Structure 1
Amino acid sequence: MNVSLLLILLLVGAIVTYLAGDKLASKVALFFGLASLGCTIVLLNHYNLGENISFITRWITQPNVSFALKADGLSLAMVLLTTALTPIIIFSSFGNEYKNSKAFYALILFMSFAMTGTFLASDGLLYYIFWELALIPIYFIALIWGNGDAEDRKKAVVKFFIYTLAGSLFMLVAFVYLYLKAGSFLIEDLYKLNLSSSEQLWIFLAFFLAYAIKIPLIPFHTWQANVYQKAPTVGTMLLSGIMLKMGLYSVIRWQLPLAPLAAKEYLPVLIGIGIAGVIYGSIVALRQKDLKKLLAYSSLAHVGLISAGTYTLTLDGLRGSVLQMIAHGFVVVGLFFVAEIIFRRYETRTIAEMGGIRAQTPKFTSLFLLLVLASVALPTTFNFVGEFTVLYSLSQINVWFAVLGGTTIILGAYYMLKMFQYTMLGETNKRIFADVTANEGITLVLIVAVLFFFGLYPKPIIDLITPSLEEILTQINRIN
């Protein structure tokens, strides 16, 4: 099966959604979102049967650029995350009204198209093009349909756009240099290069700047909280659930195999940056009064731990990081959706103005509690599997890395349960909190079901990603 069909389906979906008009746009977008998920499952089945589902054709003669897509276990896992969350995100938005909704939903599908292309691209220039394309729809989604004062929203979004674009330009320079050395942008040709330690250092730093901003890692995180707060909830879901995974995935796919000597030399520093994000994000989250900002800093803490796991350069570290990427994608989308449900009824995101919701909607409270417990990595949840594996890999490097990284469990449990207490418990708010609608309930149940199913049975995903990660580790260890 031709893997490019998935990209064609998403791109056609974006066009058809726009042409369908405002009344039908949401339903058409949901149809194409579900169709892309079905297509991904078919691709996964072909891959499991041992079929080659990669695609390559010459695109540009000079320079030598190919339209090359590679579907291995790692890329398919990330594509599955993208195509599973896209229809969930679209469906979750049905409780809101959007002006020019045809453009809004078309941009969501176009962003899914670009992110899917980023995960599948195996030509450096093609990968860079998809990487940058993903930035365009989220810019307009946040700018046009965002929250709060228009001027403040514009400042936050423009800062994010320029910040991310500037970092990516360094990555483009690195690709051009690699092309001059290899005569090709194809990843297998770039992997064959024998770069000196100084060359690898500069390549590593160029990629690091692009990825550290996108993930984000401290001190490159300053755009995150404001954009998460100002963007509409759908935009925040796309950013936190999928887009930041592009940076983490790219560390594993591109940065580490191309510059392993630099990664090994600065391993303690890189792990330290990730762990610093865990501690910083958790402490700042404790002080937040806005629910979306609290969740934004919570996400910063979690991705810091994921990043630390990737830089251990161990199979357990890489595997745990990928598992945690997928788990984090679902749980953070669920948590931001909870914040949106509360906002629909109370028209506030200030935690102090909430409270007493449990007495009015015990079902909603129960689903919210399950998401909170998944976020703090309760055993039997998907997050526990990834987080435990990452902490184990850190202990293999240095037990103090595991101890410091493990603070995410303690601090995370404290600020998440404290937040749950202030929003759900206490005296009943004077305003009526209507029970969840069918749309809201289905969305939350689907997310919770995924988190607990793979928390109890993660083997399918582990079996899917492990061979690809072993190949990448072989490439990393090729040069000692």
Structure 2
Amino acid sequence: MNVSLILIILLVGAFATFLAGDKLASKVALFFSLAAAGASIALLNHYNLGENISFINQWITQPNISFALKADGLSLAMLLLTTILTPIIIFSSFGNQYKNSKSFYALILFMSFAMAGTFLASDGLLYYIFWELSLIPIYFIALVWGNGDVEDRKKAVVKFFIYTLAGSLFMLVSFVYLYQKAGSFLLEDLYKVNLSATEQLWIFLAFFLAYAIKIPLIPFHTWQANVYQKAPTVGTMLLSGIMLKMGLYSVIRWQLPLAPLAAKEYMYVFIGLGIAGVIYGSIVALKQKDLKKLLAYSSLAHVGLIAAGSYTLTLDGLRGAVLQMIAHGFVVVGLFYIAEIIFRRYETRVIAEMGGIRSQTPKFTSMFLILVLASVALPSTFNFVGEFTVLYSLSQINIWFAILGGTTIILGAYYMLKMFQQSMLGETNTRIFTDVSGNEGITLVLVIAVLFFFGMYPKPIIDLITPSLEEILIQINRIN
């Protein structure tokens, strides 16, 4: 099966959605996103049958740039996350009305195309192009269809754009330097380059700057909360559910194997930065009064733990990080959708203005509580599998890393349950809160089903990603 088919479906879908007009845009976008999801599942079946899923074509002769795509277990896991969450996100938006909706939904598909390309690219420059392309749609989605004052929105979005673009330029310089050594941008050729410890350190730091901003890790996180708050909920879902995973995936795929000496030398520093993000994000989340901002800082804490697991350079750490990436993608999309449902009824995201909703909406309350418990890694949920594996890997490096990293569970349980209590419990609210509609219920049930299924039976994902992670570890542990 040609792996480029998925990119073609998403790109053609973006143009078809725009040409379909405002009335049909959402339905056309949903159709093409489902087609891409189906093609991704078909690709997984071919991979499981032992086929080599790759596509390579000479693009530019000088410099030597190839349109090279490759799907191994790791990239397939991230591709499936992208193509399955995209139709869920599109379907979740059906309860809203958007001006110029043809452009809105076309941008969603184009962003999905760019993110999928980032996960599949096996040529460094092609990867960089897809990485940068993903910035364009989210910039306009947040700017044009975002919340609040236009000027505040502009400041938040422009800061995010400049931050991310500036960090990525350092990554581009690194690729150019590596090209001079390898004579190619192909990943397999870059892996063969022998760099000195000093060269690896500079390459490592350049990639780290690009990825730390995208993930984000402290102190490069200052754009995150405002953009999450100002973006429309669909934009926030795309950012938190999929886009930040580009940075985490790239740490494992590109940064660690290309500069293993630096990764080993400064392991404790970068694990420490990840854990600092866990503690900082959790403490700041405790003080938030806006529901979307609380979820933004909660996300910051969770991705800090994922990054810490990645930098352990152990199979358990890498495997736990990937499992948690996928689990976090689904649970954070579900939680931001909960915030959107409340906003549709009450037109507020201030937690203090909610309360007393439970007595009016038993179904919504139950699903909200399940997502809260999944977020705090309740056993039998997908998040528990990922977080437990990451904490175990941290304990192998230093028990104090595991203890400090575990604060994400303790503090997370406190601020998430407190938020649930303040927003849902108490005396019956005087304002009417209708229970979930059909499409709202379907969206939430789909997310919850994934979280419980893989929480009880994560083996398919573990079997999918482990061989790829083992190959990456071999590359990391090679003799330089």
Partner AA of 1:455 in structure 2: G
Query: SS of 1:296's equivalent?
Result: helix
- For 2:220, the aligned partner's letter is F
Q: Contact (CA 8 Å) 1:20, 1:102: kept in 2 or not?
A: yes
- Structure 1 residue identity aligned to 2:149: D
The answer for the alignment partner of 2:83 in structure 1 is 83
Matched residue, 2:225: 225
Q: 1:431 aligned to 2:431?
A: yes
CA distance in 2, matches of 1:321, 1:107: 29
Aligned to 1:3: 3
Look up the match of 1:462.
462
- In structure 2, how many angstroms separate the alpha carbons of the residues matched to 1:479 and 1:140? 46
Distance 1:322 1:479 in 2: 26
Tell me what 1:98 maps to: 98
TM superposition shift of 1:83: 0.3
Amino acid of the structure 1 residue aligned with 2:462: I
Is residue 289 of structure 2 the alignment partner of residue 289 of structure 1?
yes
Matches within 5 A, 1:32-51: 32-51=32-51
Which residue does 2:212 correspond to in 1?
212
Q: Tell me the distance in 2 between the aligned counterparts of 1:453 and 1:425.
A: 28
Deviation of residue 428 (structure 1)?
A: 1.4
**In structure 1, distance between residues paired with 2:408 and 2:155:** 31
User: C-alpha displacement at 1:479, in angstroms?
Assistant: 2.7
Please give the alpha-carbon distance, in whole angstroms, between the structure 1 residues aligned to 2:112 and 2:340.
Answer: 21
- What residue number does 1:240 align with? 240
Q: Distance in 2 between matches of 1:77 and 1:63?
A: 31
Aligned: 1:326 with 2:326: yes
Deviation at 1:427, TM superposition (A): 1.2
Other-structure match for 1:185: 185
| CA distance in structure 2 between the aligned counterparts of 1:330 and 1:102, rounded to whole angstroms | 26
Which amino acid is the alignment partner of residue 169 of structure 2?
L
- Which residue identity does 1:44 align to in structure 2? L
Alignment of 1:128-277 (within 5 A): 128-277=128-277
CA distance in 2, matches of 1:110, 1:34: 14
1:261–1:479 contact (8 Å) kept in structure 2: no
Letter in 1 for 2:4: S
Whole-Å separation in 1 of the counterparts to 2:270 and 2:467: 25
Counterpart of 2:380 in structure 1 is 380
What SS does the aligned partner of 1:348 have? coil
Counterparts of 2:257 and 2:428 in 1: how far apart (Å)?
55
Amino acid at match of 2:289: K
Mapped to 1, the partners of 2:243 and 2:260 lie a distance apart of 25
- Mapped to 2, the partners of 1:37 and 1:15 lie a distance apart of 18
| Matched residue count | 480
User: Is 1:71–2:84 an aligned residue pair?
Assistant: no
Amino acid at match of 1:65: I
Deviations 1:159-184 (A, max 9, x none): 00000000000000000000001000
Residue number in structure 2 paired with 1:450: 450
1:11-26 correspondence to structure 2 within 5 Å: 11-26=11-26
Q: Distance in 1 between matches of 2:249 and 2:62?
A: 29
Runs of 4+ in 1 over 4 A off after TM superposition: none
What TM-score do you get using the length of structure 1 for normalisation? 1.00
Q: Does the residue aligned with 1:357 lie in a helix, a strand or coil?
A: coil
Equivalent residue, structure 2, for 1:317 = 317
The answer to whether 1:398 aligns with 2:398 is: yes
For 1:436 and 1:271, locate their aligned partners in 2 and report how far apart those are by CA, in whole Å: 41
Q: Distance in 2 between matches of 1:158 and 1:181?
A: 35
Residue of structure 1 in register with 2:117 after alignment: 117
Deviation, 1:333, is 0.1
Residue 87 (structure 1) shift: 0.1
Please list, as runs of the form range in 1=range in 2, the aligned pairs for 1:365-376 lying within 5 A after superposition: 365-376=365-376
Corresponding letter in the other structure for 2:150: A
- The answer on 1:347 being equivalent to 2:338 is no
**What percentage of aligned pairs have identical amino acids?**
89
- How many Å separate the matches in 1 of 2:376 and 2:330? 13
- The one-letter amino acid paired with 1:20 is A
Q: What's the offset of the Cα at 1:430?
A: 1.1
What is the CA distance between 1:369 and its match in structure 2?
0.3
TM-score (norm 2): 1.00
Deviation at 1:147, TM superposition (A): 0.0
Q: How far did 1:295 drift? A: 0.1
Amino acid at match of 2:444: L
The CA deviation string for residues 320-344 of structure 1, in whole angstroms up to 9 with x for no partner, is 0000000000000000000000000
Report deviation, 1:378: 0.2
Residues 114-143 of structure 1: per-residue CA shift (max 9 Å, x gap): 000000000000000000000000000000
CA distance in 2, matches of 1:397, 1:70: 32
CA deviations 1:407-429 (Å, max 9, x no partner) are 11100000000000000001111
The amino acid that maps onto 1:366 is S
CA distance in 2, matches of 1:446, 1:295: 20
